[in-house]
Amino acid sequence: MAFLFVVSAGAISAPPAISMPRAGTDTLPDPRDPFYDAISEATTRFGIPAAWIRAVIRVESGGDPRAVSPVGAMGLMQVMPSTWAALTARHGLGRDPFDTRANILAGTAYLRELIDRYADLSTALAAYNAGPGRVDAWRARRRPLPTETVAYVTRITPLIGAPGGMWIAAMPIPAAPSWRAAGLFAQRNGDANPVSTNAPASHDIATPASPSVVATPVRRDGLFVPLSGS
């Protein structure tokens, strides 16, 4: 069971900007994309480059709007029911989690929140797959990331234009305590166990994102570190 924590707007400072992938047409929606309108709206509302949204769709569902995972994640961006309920109430997305527009907006809003929480794209992607609780445990040196999550981030980063030749860090240096490290995200049931290789982790949500914060180049001091010579 997921629990949502309500935090007043004045309780935390404004989230930092993140690094942006190198400039290029992939940061904009592709008119040939069947999901062009929804991706364009999501990019505008949440400041996430179109290439990032397309990459998540490709890896999460293979572009199938009716996809359902073994653990119940739904639609193009594989949003869990509890997360969907919170997001549709917050953003007015309607009742159908399989609606193309609604699902893309929900998944993008959730990714925005994770990016704002961790200020690092690769770490945010790991949390999108394994859940914030599992990533926080990894950052605190309590548990390794699931093998599926490592493979997930390794697969998705080239699709968003992140630098290649990256490798998973065996153990991160814990970040200094900050508002991002506070218990704003509730631990999911699935955080207690490794993520199944064929079952995306639930995408639970907490504090509202700041759509006005525009995404900026992927930081190189997060989940992955360069290979020797890269």
Which CATH number belongs to the domain containing residue 65 in this structure?
1.10.530.10
Total number of domains in the chain: 1
Q: Is residue 208 part of a domain?
A: no
Q: Is residue 130 part of a domain?
A: yes
Strands, E assignment, 26-181: 166-168
CB 195 within 8 A of CB 130: yes
pLDDT along the chain (230 residues), means of 10: 30 36 49 87 95 95 96 96 94 96 98 95 93 94 93 92 48 43 46 36 42 41 47
Q: Is residue 92 part of a domain?
A: yes
Per the annotation, the verdict on 113 as an active-site residue is: no
Q: Is residue 219 part of a domain?
A: no
- DSSP-assigned letter for residue 224: E
Choice among 41, 60, 113, 148 that is catalytic? 60
- What is the domain range of residue 78? 35-159
Q: Is residue 80 part of a domain?
A: yes
Q: Is residue 95 part of a domain?
A: yes
Considering Cα of 39, then 188, then 199, then 97, what sign does the dihedral take?
A: negative
